[in-house]
């Protein structure tokens, strides 16, 4: 049963036992197959340990404990988090609060590197490695963050944690007026003190310009589909209609569709906005599905609209942010031979959970996000452990 709970961010929550019991019960009653992504025995042990927590906890303190389940879930559609972290952030900034002032990247070696000022503006510190923040070694802070990030794989979680570093740092260490950083770059070490930033973080600006189409000077074209957010559907359908008309009129023979930062949304966005121009034969969105008390084969085959078909070469670019409905789109394009995949893969599974629902925890006011089904790619359930990647 979907529960609702009005919670004040400054209120104190009770012990975690009820929240842990609620998580156990909800997963048992609602998740289609927890063993799909998690080790049930490891998860059970972690829940038992958390249930032993005593004392009164604030919402953030409860999050610091319960979010350690997220890497164990190993599914970006199953995690403990805040009901509205975006809204909380906007409210924090509007109230005069500040955030960690830099956009960062956790690289392949686990090092924390500066990529820009918070919000994406150029920073003279870009490229520098952060050695310590307010005296805390960056390796230790990074480990604390990664122990709470959600997602299918360590690659996915590191990328997500990079985008939300400012959020995790705020919730782990509190909002601060200033940040003393020890930095290293090109053999030089130095310290700098930066004021907290009041800029809107880059990830919260992602939907400012999610779509773009251009025909490049080399005669090829690029279509950016940065989101499948259904609230943007009319805008997206209008863009793709115009784009494919221009492709035909100008006889453009190569199209790159960029979904590298597309975290998903509604399948109708790409089923209506892209597939009429790309599908040259019947296709389906998956092969088999698993629900809580049912499993079966996807019976719906969609027919091509050959009068609208784009006949040029299609390349779909993926990245570590490609997820959910965007992965379903990439699966269809790859498995039916409609396109070649390019970009950075191996961050998320081709088999995706979906139908995500929000369950509010009874004490902390945090929420458990959980899926109601698992969908295997068109290539079949043998792909269940396979990661999305060019091939």
Residue 358 lies in a domain: no
Residue 160 φ then ψ, to 5°: -60, -45
Residue 367 lies in a domain: no
Same domain, 248 and 277: yes
Q: Which of 308, 288, 312 is nearest to 298 (CA)?
A: 288
Last residue of a domain, one of 170, 204, 238: 204
Last residue of a domain, one of 81, 111, 136: 81
Give the whole-angstrom CA distance, residue 60 versus residue 363: 12
Same domain, 180 and 127: yes
Same domain, 234 and 305: yes
Same domain, 220 and 335: yes
Q: Are 329 and 259 in contact (CB under 8 A)?
A: yes
Same domain, 139 and 20: no
Give the whole-angstrom CA distance, residue 258 versus residue 220: 13
Residue 99 lies in a domain: yes
Q: Output the average pLDDT for the chain.
A: 94
* Structural tokens at position 329: 């789109």
Same domain, 50 and 28: yes
The fraction of the chain above a pLDDT of 90, given in percent, is 93
pLDDT tens by residue, 331-355: 999 999 999 999 999 999 999 999 9
DSSP assignment string, 180-218? EEEEEETTEEEEEEEEPB-SPPGGGGGGGS-EEEEE-TT
Q: Are 309 and 282 in contact (CB under 8 A)?
A: no
Instruction: Tell me the residue range of the domain where 119 lies.
Output: 86-204
Same domain, 236 and 128: no
Same domain, 230 and 341: yes
pLDDT tens by residue, 157-179: 999 999 999 999 999 999 999 99
* Structural tokens at position 239: 């863009």
Residue 350 lies in a domain: no
Among 77-81, 202-206, 313-317, which is the least confidently predicted range? Answer: 202-206
The total of structural domains in the chain comes to: 3
Same domain, 58 and 160: no
Looking at residue 188, which CATH number applies to its domain?
2.30.42.10
Looking at residue 228, which CATH number applies to its domain?
3.90.226.10
pLDDT interval class at 53 (50, 70, 90): confident
Interior/surface letters 97-132, b for 16+ CB within 10 angstroms, e for the rest = ebbbbbbbbbeeeebbbbbbbbbeeebebeebbbbb
Residue 169 lies in a domain: yes
């Amino acid at each position: 049963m979907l529960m609702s709970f009005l919670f004040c961010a400054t209120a104190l929550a009770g012990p975690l036992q009820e929240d842990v019991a609620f998580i156990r019960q909800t997963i048992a009653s609602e998740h289609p197959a927890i063993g799909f992504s998690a080790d049930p025995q490891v998860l059970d042990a972690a829940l038992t340990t958390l249930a032993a927590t005593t004392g009164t906890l604030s919402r953030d303190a409860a999050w610091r404990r319960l979010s350690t389940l997220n890497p164990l879930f190993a599914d970006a559609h199953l995690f403990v988090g805040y009901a509205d972290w975006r809204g909380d952030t906007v409210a924090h900034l509007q109230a005069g609060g500040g955030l960690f002032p830099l956009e960062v990247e956790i690289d392949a070696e686990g090092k924390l590197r500066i990529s820009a000022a918070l919000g994406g503006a150029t920073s003279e510190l870009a490229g520098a490695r952060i050695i310590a923040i307010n005296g805390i070694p960056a390796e230790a802070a990074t480990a604390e963050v990664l122990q709470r990030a959600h997602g299918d794989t360590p690659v996915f979680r590191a990328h997500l944690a990079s985008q939300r570093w400012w959020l995790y740092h705020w919730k782990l260490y509190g909002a601060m007026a200033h940040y003393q950083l020890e930095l290293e770059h090109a053999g030089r070490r130095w310290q700098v003190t930066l004021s907290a930033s009041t800029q809107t973080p880059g990830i919260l600006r992602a939907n400012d310009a999610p779509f773009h189409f251009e025909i490049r000077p080399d005669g090829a074209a690029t279509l950016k589909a940065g989101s499948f957010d259904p609230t943007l559907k009319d805008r997206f359908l209008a863009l793709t209609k115009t784009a494919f008309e221009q492709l035909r009129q100008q006889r453009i023979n190569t199209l790159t569709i960029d979904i590298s930062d597309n975290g998903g949304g509604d399948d109708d966005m790409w089923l209506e906005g892209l597939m009429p121009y790309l599908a040259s034969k019947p296709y389906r969105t998956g092969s088999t599905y698993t629900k809580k008390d049912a499993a079966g084969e996807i019976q719906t085959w969609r027919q091509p609209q050959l009068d609208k078909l784009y006949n040029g070469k299609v390349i779909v670019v993926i990245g570590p942010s490609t997820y959910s409905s965007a992965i379903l789109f990439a699966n269809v394009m790859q498995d039916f031979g409609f396109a070649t995949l390019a970009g950075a893969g191996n961050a998320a599974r081709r088999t995706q959970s979906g139908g995500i629902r929000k369950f509010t925890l009874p004490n902390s006011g945090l929420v458990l996000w959980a899926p109601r089904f698992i969908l295997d790619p068109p290539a079949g359930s043998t792909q269940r452990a396979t990661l999305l990647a060019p091939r």
